Amino acid sequence: MVIPAIVVAALEYFFIELGLTAKLEWLPSITWSTWPWVTNYPNFGWFMNEILELGYLIPNKAPGIVNHYCVGVLWTIPVQLQFSYTTLLGAIMVREIKSHWKRFCFYFWCISVNWYSMNWGSCFWVGLLIADLNVTYNYVAWLQTRPRYLYPFFLLLWVLIIQGPLWTFLEDRGFYTLMTRERNIHPNIATGAPQGQVDSMYPAYFEPRLNTILFAGAVQMMTELSTSFQSFLSLKLWIILFPHTFTIYLVHGFVFWSFGAWLCVTLASLEILPYWSICLILFVCCYTIIGLAAMMITPFSEGAAMALCRNLW
């Protein structure tokens, strides 16, 4: 997982050195957005330090590289790396709990404690629970042969899926501050007091939220249970995109902040196109560049990662 991140981060380091993000600082004057800043690494040692940090940083903490990498998506790398160990250890522990009620009490305890401590482990424990339900208890086959339980369960899952973006919509539109209120329940790490008494605020993008946990678990269960959902996810378009998803995740920000910023500023400076048409042109051109970049970078970055894994093995 880290090897493709290193490859793309090194490419971005090189391109930032060449000044390809120079037009980014002019973007707020056109888009009325805040400055989506990116700064160059002070030196190569700084770059190496921030790459190493990705493997050892304790979530929830945004790694330093997000200040020098186009968009802060790399904060998820430490989450995925470190909680993969939680999942593996959890599988070993759960296997030793033979009583069903003790096993599910253990799951409930782990999910609750991780949620209360604002820890991404809650999502991974939910995933482990769903896997256990299928492997040990074969819940998918059981439900699919009992429509009277299956369809009400589908309804519940859709409610849980919809509530995810709905919480964000209500908060962002100022209707009801659900996510801020939920964050205020959790303890402050420094003082132990509720966050609402210390620092009431909208959750940071790298902090887990209850609607995220529920959304992720519901989508996973829907994927396992619904043949229609499986058919949609198996469309040829997604199959073509699938090998490149990690590359797209890694490169999309740089494309928007280099080529996208340059194109937006250039078109706006002509003063002949309305803003909506500039956005449409940006959409088409940027996603074309992302697609071409993904096809070029994926074989190199994924090939290097797989070769390293084979050699280590």
Cβ atoms of 224 and 129 closer than 8 Å? no
Q: Are residues 214 and 148 in the same domain?
A: yes
On whether residue 308 sits in a domain, the answer given is yes
Alpha-carbon distances of 160 from 24, 210, 215, 222, rounded to whole Å: 38, 11, 6, 10
The range of the structural domain enclosing residue 20 comes to 1-86+235-313
Of the three residues 226, 252, 275, the one that is the final residue of a domain is 226
3-state secondary structure of 2: helix
Q: Are residues 59 and 117 in the same domain?
A: no
Of the three residues 226, 253, 275, the one that is the final residue of a domain is 226
pLDDT at position 100 is: 92
On whether residue 117 sits in a domain, the answer given is yes
- Radius of gyration of the chain from its Cα atoms, rounded to whole angstroms: 22
Q: Are residues 81 and 5 in the same domain?
A: yes
**Residue in 36, 44, 32, 103 with CA at minimum distance from that of residue 71:** 36
pLDDT at position 197 is: 87
Q: Are residues 53 and 142 in the same domain?
A: no
Q: What is the pLDDT along the chain (313 residues), one digit of tens a residue?
A: 888 999 999 999 999 999 999 998 888 888 877 777 788 899 999 999 999 999 899 888 889 998 899 888 999 999 999 999 999 999 999 999 999 999 999 999 999 999 999 999 999 999 999 999 999 999 999 999 999 999 999 999 999 999 999 998 988 887 888 899 999 999 988 888 898 888 888 888 888 999 999 999 999 999 999 999 999 999 998 998 888 999 999 999 999 999 999 999 999 999 899 999 999 999 999 999 999 999 999 988 888 888 888 998 9
Q: Are residues 110 and 200 in the same domain?
A: yes
Task: Give tens-digit pLDDT for 51-91.
Answer: 999 989 988 888 999 889 988 899 999 999 999 999 999 99
Place of tokens 């949620």: 115
Burial of 270 (0-12, 13-18, 19+ CB in 10 A): exposed
Domain count for the chain:
2
Q: Are residues 39 and 2 in the same domain?
A: yes
Q: Are residues 112 and 216 in the same domain?
A: yes
AA identity, residue 142:
W
Q: On the CB side of 9, how many CA atoms lie within 13 Å of its CA?
A: 27
Query: What distance in Å separates the CA atoms of residue 60 and residue 207, rounded to the nearest whole number?
Result: 6
